[in-house]
């Protein structure tokens, strides 16, 4: 049999999450087809066809798929499922939204956010926000899997797979798209940023948070994160929160500024490649996970670091 | 309109969990347990809709052992009207089975809206709401940061990668909560006392006619490869040099 992966895209561009999902899917050892579901998404299908290791690209193009609402998208995937013994979906907001709907319609138990393929039916996945790693084996006829994107490298370009057009599903009319308000910030998204500068309660106020954190983030082209304590104190908006109940991130570089390192914060960032901690309190738990620490006053060190990086 | 809110009893978010040395799971003995934080947000949203006159009754449901009754009492103390415990002795019930059990409860209760947490902070599955929507053939809006309930539809603003999007769902519908939706209230002491007298009904997977047996086998549970503390540096220049050396600048 074969594996089907769902492409992550915005109708114009193929998202890198697709190439990472492909790497996980290829580890199952079967031929891999890529489903591109969208509206006017031919360019995306052509880009997917160039990923190395793809057998063929299925392009379903139609109005019902314009915003990848879960109901029509799940119906489409289920209609294809008979030809596949694994359906692998990126752990993006679109993927996490649709995959369980597919799994339930197929009466199978989804394996969420895998970080490693042990064998075609056995996977590692983090639980308790990464504080434990579970190895699970599936006994279902079809495996429905979502992939923790940060855990897999992107498959290379260099392929030339055929693109086959398939019919888009009808629309049940259960849901409709009202609108989107996508952030136009120049900063990268927190969830996928390569560098994150995060601030904690020691910043003392929303003004200081901006004044100290933003210039360093600008200098590093980084996303800005915050500890729950900083969010609860009103220094930073809730969607910046990194932690067990916020966003779980794994950038190449994570700079924690004035963050003591509560358990629930560490759970959200400890898989970062390199962690830097800047904190006045040398005994703060954040230093137990940091690769490099500066025990000093953040209000002098951070501007100095920003300046040093500018030179 | 009746709103149903499924809630789960999980390890309190402030507890540092311990993985058992023999790899059989996470040690839950004598550990503080609480309502899953995303479920608290779901209860809060349902209560606000009731207080705004848009819902008439809030029913909390939990699937678990006797101890899940405590979690239901927490929901009742926050202000829910009544509770249903689907009692099982199973150590854990998978999201697919939970969704099937909830579907059976919904067949009896006929709510207009079901609000769930987007995921439980123990198994981090993020599946139950979507699966329930699929089994019922209802529309779904996951990761909600705003819910505007009308008579025959609900507008839900969702947290998606890169921003927000708004969907309109025909009722009945499934909504799952994200962090920004609201700040859950604390139960006051008088309300905690009052909650003890609110109705809490019990049922079981057998009574509901649902096979809740697991599909996945957990082979082992281990601690993640730990990080070791690195070095404390003296100056900003040293830090910049180290970061350049590590190739992250």
Residue ranges covered by each domain of chain B? 2-245
Structure-token match 């109901």, residue found: A71
Mean pLDDT on A244-261: 92
Please say whether the beta carbons of A83 and A1 come within 8 A.
Answer: yes
Q: Confidence band (pLDDT; 50, 70, 90) for A214?
A: very high
Q: Which residue has the tokens 């349902």?
A: B46
Confidence at B116, pLDDT banded by 50, 70, 90? very high
Using a pLDDT cut of 90, give the percent of chain A over it: 87
d(CA A243, CA A232): 13
Give the DSSP per-residue string, A197-221.
EEE-GGG-SHHHHHHHHHHHHHHHT
Contact assignment for B139 to A97 by CB distance below 8 Å: no
Q: What is the pLDDT of residue A192?
A: 80
pLDDT exceeds 90 at position A237: no
The pLDDT of A89-115, averaged and rounded, is: 97
The answer to whether A131 contacts B159, with C-beta atoms less than 8 Å apart, is no
A40: contact with B, CB 8 A cutoff: no
Per the CB < 8 A criterion, the answer to whether B83 and B195 are in contact is no
Of the candidates A22, A6, A276, the one whose C-alpha atom is nearest the C-alpha of residue A156 is: A22
Q: Which of A135-144, A230-239, B190-199 has the lowest mean pLDDT?
A: A230-239
Residue of A nearest to B169 (CA): A175
Q: Inform me whether the C-beta atom of residue A18 falls under 8 Å from chain B C-beta atoms.
A: no
Instruction: Look over chain A and give the mean of its residue pLDDT values, rounded to a whole number.
Output: 95
Mean pLDDT of A242-250: 85
Average pLDDT of chain B? Answer: 96
pLDDT of residue A185: 74
- Do B125 and A110 count as a contact with CB atoms less than 8 A apart? yes
For residue B161, the chain A residue with the least C-alpha distance is: A93
Restricting to A residues 43-82, those with a Cβ less than 8 Å away from any Cβ of B are 67, 69-71, 74
Residue A206: what pLDDT? 97
Residues B46-62: pLDDT tens digits? Answer: 999 999 999 999 999 99
SS3 A290: coil
Query: Bigger pLDDT: A222 or B16?
Result: A222
Quick one: tokens of B184?
A: 């859950």
The beta-carbon neighbor of A103 closest among B26, B131, B233 is B131
The DSSP symbol for A12 reads S
Residue A289, pLDDT > 80, answer: yes
- Say how many CA atoms lie within 13 Å of A296 toward its Cβ: 18
pLDDT of residue A271: 86
- pLDDT category of residue B218 using cuts at 50, 70 and 90: very high
Find the residue in A nearest to B154 (Cα).
A175
Per-residue confidence at B102, pLDDT binned at 50, 70, 90?
very high
Q: What is the mean pLDDT of residues B120-124?
A: 95
> Rounded CA gap, B94 and B57, in Å?
28
| Res A245: pLDDT | 76
What is the reported pLDDT for A129? 87
> B131-148: per-residue pLDDT in tens?
999 999 999 999 999 999
Contacts of B127 in chain A (CB under 8 A): 99-100, 103, 110, 112
Give per-residue pLDDT as tens, B199-212. 999 999 999 999 99
Contact assignment for B140 to A176 by CB distance below 8 Å:
no
Cα dihedral across residues B236, B240, B241, B242: positive or negative: positive
pLDDT at B225 over 90: no
- What's the pLDDT tens digit per position in B166-184? 999 999 999 999 988 999 9
DSSP H/E element including B194: helix B189-195
Which residues lie below 8 Å from residue A253, measured CB to CB, with a gap of 6+?
A194, A195, A196, A220, A222, A272, A273, A274, A276, B243, B248, B249
Residue of A283, A272, A289, A278 lying closest to A213 (CA atoms): A278
Provide mean pLDDT across the span A258-267: 92
Q: What is the pLDDT of residue B62?
A: 98
B2-245: CATH architecture: 3-Layer(aba) Sandwich (3.40)
User: pLDDT tens, A153-195?
Assistant: 899 999 999 999 999 999 999 999 999 988 777 888 887 889 9
Q: Which of A 126-155 lie inside 8 A of B, CB atoms?
A: 126-140
Distance CA A160, CA B89 (A): 53
pLDDT for B16 equals 87
A76/chain B closest Cα distance in angstroms: 13
Measure the CA–CA gap between B249 and B240, rounded to whole angstroms.
8
- pLDDT-based confidence at residue A264 (cuts at 50, 70, 90): confident
Burial class (CB in 10 A: 0-12, 13-18, 19+), A122: middle
Give the global pTM. Answer: 0.92
A150-160 pLDDT, tens digit per residue, is 889 899 999 99
| Residue A12 Cα, gap to closest chain B Cα (Å) | 15
Q: What is the DSSP string of B61-82?
A: EEEESTTHHHHHHHHHHHT-SE
**Angle in degrees, CA B185, B190, B192, rounded to 5:** 65
């Amino acid at each position: 049999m074969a594996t089907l992966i769902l492409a992550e895209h915005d109708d114009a561009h193929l998202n890198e999450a697709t190439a990472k999902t492909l790497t996980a899917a290829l580890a199952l050892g079967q031929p891999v087809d890529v489903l591109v579901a969208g509206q006017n998404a031919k360019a995306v299908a052509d880009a997917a066809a160039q990923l190395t290791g793809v057998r063929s690209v299925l392009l379903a193009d139609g109005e019902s798929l314009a915003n990848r609402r879960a109901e029509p998208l799940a119906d489409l995937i289920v209609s294809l499922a008979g030809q596949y013994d694994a359906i692998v979906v990126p752990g993006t907001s679109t993927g996490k939204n649709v995959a369980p709907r597919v799994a339930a319609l197929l009466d199978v138990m989804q394996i969420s956010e895998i970080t490693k393929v042990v064998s075609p039916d056995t996977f590692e996945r983090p639980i308790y926000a990464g504080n434990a790693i579970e190895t699970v084996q599936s006994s279902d006829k079809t495996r429905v899997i979502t992939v923790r994107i940060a855990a897999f490298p992107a498959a290379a370009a260099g392929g030339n797979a055929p693109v086959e057009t398939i019919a888009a599903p009808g629309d049940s009319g259960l849901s409709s798209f009202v609108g989107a308000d996508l952030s136009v910030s120049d900063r990268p998204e927190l969830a996928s940023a390569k560098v994150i500068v995060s601030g904690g309660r020691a910043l003392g106020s929303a003004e200081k948070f901006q004044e100290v954190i933003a210039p360093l983030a600008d200098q590093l082209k980084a996303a800005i994160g915050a500890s729950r304590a900083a969010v609860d104190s009103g220094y930073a908006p809730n969607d910046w929160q990194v932690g067990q109940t916020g966003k779980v991130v794994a950038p190449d570089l994570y700079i924690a500024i004035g963050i003591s390192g509560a358990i629930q914060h560490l759970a959200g960032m400890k898989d970062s490649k390199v962690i830097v901690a800047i904190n006045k309190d040398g005994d703060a738990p954040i230093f137990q996970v940091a690769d490099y620490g500066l025990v000093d006053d953040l209000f002098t060190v951070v501007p100095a670091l920003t300046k040093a990086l500018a030179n | 309109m009746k709103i149903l809110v499924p809630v789960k009893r999980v390890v309190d978010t402030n507890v540092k969990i311990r993985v058992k040395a023999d790899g059989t799971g996470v040690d839950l003995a004598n550990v503080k347990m609480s309502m899953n934080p995303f479920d608290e947000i779901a209860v809060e949203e349902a209560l606000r809709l009731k207080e705004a006159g848009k819902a008439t009754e809030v029913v909390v449901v939990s699937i678990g052992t006797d101890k899940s009754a405590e979690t239901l009492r927490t929901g009742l103390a926050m202000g829910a009207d009544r509770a249903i415990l689907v009692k099982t002795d199973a150590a854990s019930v998978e999201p697919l089975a939970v969704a099937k059990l909830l579907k059976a409860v919904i067949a009896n209760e006929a709510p207009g809206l079901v609000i769930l947490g987007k995921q439980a902070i123990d198994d981090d599955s993020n599946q139950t709401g979507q699966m329930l929507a699929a089994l019922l053939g209802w529309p779904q809006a996951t990761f909600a940061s705003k819910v505007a309930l009308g008579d025959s539809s609900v507008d839900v603003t969702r947290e998606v990668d890169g921003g927000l999007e708004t969907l309109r769902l025909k009722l009945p519908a499934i909504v799952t909560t994200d962090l920004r939706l609201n700040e859950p209230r604390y139960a006051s002491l008088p309300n905690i006392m009052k909650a003890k007298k609110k109705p809490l009904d019990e049922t079981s997977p057998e009574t509901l006619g649902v096979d809740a047996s697991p599909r996945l086998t957990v082979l082992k549970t281990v601690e993640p490869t730990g990080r070791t503390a690195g070095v404390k540096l003296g100056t900003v220049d040293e830090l910049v040099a180290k970061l350049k050396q590590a190739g992250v600048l």
